[in-house]
Structure 1
């Protein structure tokens, strides 16, 4: 973990929004990340919320660390009989920044959870499809950040699939990216000023071996057959995702850069995947280089809810900066040419930088 967090910081990342729900593992590193002289990003973590079926997911079982999955402040199963105020308070008590609503909740429960979490001062993050809740129903419920453009395809489904296990099986062939359903959804998002955490990289990059392996596992376990096999998805799905993200950007929706896969020097990555994300924003989704940088700085800080102190260069804000050798407004790949990272006013010069 020390290697991973140092890799992130030296790659230009000073804050991380973690939505994996493994708080016991993260906590020792959270306090260190807020110390200026420790080369870790700050970590803002969440309570992962879903229905009972989601708590059977092997990842959730692992993150429970021997507790009952769904019965802790960092992993919470919600049903119609749950004391929701008490459940949210247990998340507040362990210091989460927000809740991550994952899956297996209907629209009425989504509304109730969202209202209570806001009442108790938490940010509201969610997958952009909470099966069986549709993306538009999430917007109506008051979700503040929707993750994954890819899941917008389910807005066009009637009926909506009930199981989150089909989320990688979206039919991108028969549900057009510019259909009236998708257009109406984007207009709703714009009007509600919801942030889109697009995560185009993890769904579209052919070199994301870990992601493709992960998708394959869930496609094969889903009860509904996939319309796209693992070889087809980059060809069929990626353009759909790029097109919808481009349309969202042109409409003026706030889009933040996120990855779902940080990257790792131990797996051969030279830089965190956030650089690939913003490069795709520019090359495939119609962003200017400065707009892409804004998605990873100002808008990302808004998504976390820390924009009062971070995300832009202004008097009174914390000095988090990346100093580059070349101008990224001319070439977005210049964000990789890092001379130094400044976290809370402390300089971290990059060792053995190769241009």
Structure 2
């Protein structure tokens, strides 16, 4: 059984997954977070708002939320008397991290999903953005995480819309089992004749917080869906090229994020092929230096609009043969080196960049997939550690539409925190010094982490 630590007397209403493979909780109690005051005292705080750490800081938590963030010298004596204090002298506290691009159910595999989510939460990832899967499975995972039945980050997810030609992809059959691909509320085929208001309402009825635009989509259709989704208070997350809509047309449609730096190589083309046409190779020479003129114009527009780049550099590395990024570019074309150069150009242009993975690390890796993307952002894109951490906190929270509740350590936000023994701004590997993750006020000690097994990842 996965164990949630109770040493601070914060009530954890959870009966966690049976890792023999059935993943069912026995008579879970109703979720009822404690209203007890807890103070994390004397921490060195990297709050996600300031570039420099602040020493001797106190974080006052009540229930799910942060009540106060204050210098220890300024802490009210009455608050201290009323609270349970945890001394974090010599420790570092950062906001809970967010993986902005995961796939938890293509096809559904409950054991694998829970294992990956378990690895995430015990490694400091307190929320993920699921980029369209079988939402029947994802919705149940999201509920189980929220009420404390499983040890997992919060899950925010998208329903998918694409043109009819996309639904020949075999993955759409896997994620629509029992229904017809393109005709289920979480994966809809759309054209210029679609009742857009109805389609978005059906997607919203799945409890998705966003629409994902995938492929076989014209600029006009993308713009219509985006406008209606925003009217119904949903985010729009799009692939950077929608075949035939090119990146600048996707951005002009008003989407909130565009995914995959490598898909931006289509921007200089006069005409982008349709989804059904064979992919033509792209000359990568103009992208290697990180100073492509067409992308410079695109990035200026993205900066002006506040469009976020979900770069997923690691998804194109040599060890990611199983990446779900589609449609694939021809072998030997865009890779993590070129994707990194593109991402570095975007960063220098002032584009907001989130941190997402779109891939799974080996089961023997005890740390979240997100750390692989961090390494790529550092090495291939040349991003500084402060920007990388911000990509996984403030920017990722905005990408998920959750910036009011997470992404920084501030009064009023959810108590999503990570306690480290070393400063991650000095070295990203210091993110592997997790002592404890707090999600919605509930504490999970790293020592309670149960490593993944091969069966967790491969068993169906």
Q: Secondary structure at the match of 1:90?
A: helix
**Structure with the larger RCO, 1 or 2 (CA within 8 Å, 6+ apart):** 2
Distance 1:54 1:352 in 2: 43
User: Please, what TM-score do these two structures have when normalized by structure 2?
Assistant: 0.69
**Which residues of structure 1 form unaligned runs of 5+?**
none
1:44–1:97 Cα contact (<8 Å) kept: yes
Q: Secondary structure at the match of 2:335?
A: helix
Correspondence for 1:67: 179
Distance 1:209 1:248 in 2: 26
Q: Offset at 1:336?
A: 1.8
Q: Offset at 1:124?
A: 0.6
- 1:315 aligns to 2:411 (yes or no): yes
Correspondence for 1:337: 433
Correspondence for 1:7: 119
**Alignment match of 1:122 (pick from 220, 231, 234):** 234
**Alignment match of 2:300 (pick from 161, 167, 187):** 187
Q: Secondary structure at the match of 2:188?
A: strand
Q: Identify which range, 96-105 or 337-346, moves more after superposition.
A: 337-346
Kindly tell me: are residues 165 and 346 of structure 1, through their superposed partners in 2, closer, same or farther at Cα, counting changes over 3 Å? farther
User: Please, what TM-score do these two structures have when normalized by structure 1?
Assistant: 0.88
Q: Secondary structure at the match of 1:118?
A: helix
How big is the alpha-carbon RMSD for the aligned residues of Structure 1 and Structure 2?
A: 2.2
* 1:163-174 to 2 correspondences below 5 Å: 163=275, 170-173=282-285
TM-superposition CA deviations, 1:283-334 (whole Å, max 9, x none): 2322221211110011100000001011100001111111112110100111
Kindly tell me: are residues 179 and 289 of structure 1, through their superposed partners in 2, closer, same or farther at Cα, counting changes over 3 Å? closer
Distance 1:178 1:210 in 2: 30
Kindly tell me: are residues 264 and 29 of structure 1, through their superposed partners in 2, closer, same or farther at Cα, counting changes over 3 Å? farther
Distance 2:287 2:432 in 1: 36
2:286–2:292 Cα contact (<8 Å) kept: no
1:146–1:196 Cα contact (<8 Å) kept: yes
**Alignment match of 2:208 (pick from 78, 86, 96):** 96
**Which residues of structure 2 form unaligned runs of 5+?**
1-110, 450-460
Distance 2:141 2:174 in 1: 19
Q: Offset at 1:209?
A: 4.0
Q: Offset at 1:245?
A: 0.8
**Alignment match of 2:352 (pick from 254, 258, 261):** 254
Higher strand share: 2
Kindly tell me: are residues 4 and 167 of structure 1, through their superposed partners in 2, closer, same or farther at Cα, counting changes over 3 Å? farther
Q: Secondary structure at the match of 1:312?
A: coil
**Alignment match of 1:55 (pick from 167, 170, 181):** 167
**Alignment match of 1:110 (pick from 186, 201, 222):** 222
Correspondence for 1:237: 335
Distance 1:254 1:56 in 2: 33
Q: Secondary structure at the match of 1:316?
A: coil
1:255–1:295 Cα contact (<8 Å) kept: yes
